[in-house]
Amino acid sequence: MSTFTLLALTAAASAAVLELPVHIQDTYSSVEFEVGTPAKPYRFMFDTGSTTSWVTGRNCTDTSCPKITTFVRTPYNESDSSTSVNLDQYSSIPYIDGDILAGYVFSDVFSDDKETLSWNQTFMAAEESSWRWITADGFLGLGFSSIAENKTTSLVETLLWEDKLDESRFALFYGTNLKNTGVQDGVLTIGGSHEDVYVDGEVAYMPLRVETPYELWRAPLRSVSILAARENQTVIVNNGKLPSINAPANTYPKANTTWSMYGEGTAVFDTGAGRISIPSSMANAFYYYLGWNLTKLYNGEERMECEHMNSTWAISFTFGETADESNDVTFSIRGDEIFAPGEQCMPPVDDSGESTFSLLGTDFLKRHYSVFDFGGNRVENYQPRIGFGKLKEEYDYLK
């Protein structure tokens, strides 16, 4: 047997899949890793909208790292770990919502709670953080390492480049219970996916927007649509395709409008963001077609009640970049799918502040089984795509 074959078999034998239980508290979703020697457990809020992972550091104070949550954070102290390495790099991360994070870069041993894998991971130990509300010790960045802070790489790509993962992907199921209490069964899978378990039908995939290098899970947005049915009719969501209405023949919907992006649109899928945001040019019209005035909603002159979040309307996002639109895919979310029972109902869609940009956060993602696929285990081989599948009824938290 050749040396090459032996090496290939060794790499294949060492490849693994991490199955990380999702912990949800106060709407924030996190997973747990063991860090350091001896190991200590840390909760990381997973965020596809950033790359460098971080934990609260020993130099955080009530002033520099304010906290308004009952979650008890565990500060990282490099002196307590025999495997900690200070990489002599200070960095700061500005986030899109105005939050900021600053601290020093370290490397230390990480493992999952089942000890499936153990590896050296770079991250920041924060000494300044405005993330006062999160119910976690820090962030797990799941973006691409091209936008990572100096001397850091993303956790997934660290494992990917060291050939430690079974597949070059990670996948997310938020769970059937999104509340603080009760049994939670969500899972973040790193190195594989389980669409056979969770998905009703097939996962519909779309390639990311072609970029050099890739930075975020950003797809080319062809158009945004609003479909509103008439009274006593229901919008039917079709995964990967435009929605339809269960209406008699020759019956027209209340509204059926599409706004084209004319090749300029993009959408970022961000587990670290809660809301759905659409381009500024569409926000007012979106509410108009539902019978509302956005300015009056913001000013409190009108109020959306939970009864208005119903099955008579849906917003859809169509993705595609080539002249051939036959391969486009569309993903929709219906009015009654945005908020779970017991949650506060509010205007469901925000203005992104940009003319061609949409942000699809957890309000969208929790309704699907999501697969984030790098399409290769080295940067030069990446063919990234993202896919969504309709949840089977037994895994749908609204059923």
Indicate which residues carry an active-site annotation.
Answer: 47, 270
Alpha-carbon distances, residue 16 vs 12, 214, 327 (angstroms): 9, 25, 33
Buried b / exposed e over 268-279, threshold 16 CB at 10 Å, is bbbbbbbbbbbb
- Cβ atoms of 337 and 397 within 8 Å: the answer is no
- Cβ atoms of 290 and 313 within 8 Å: the answer is yes
Separation CA 98–CA 130 (nearest Å): 9
* Residues 6+ positions from 48 with CB-CB distance below 8 Å: 142, 143, 216, 217, 269, 270, 271, 272, 372
Give me the residues paired with residue 373 across strands.
169, 385
* Residues 6+ positions from 322 with CB-CB distance below 8 Å: none
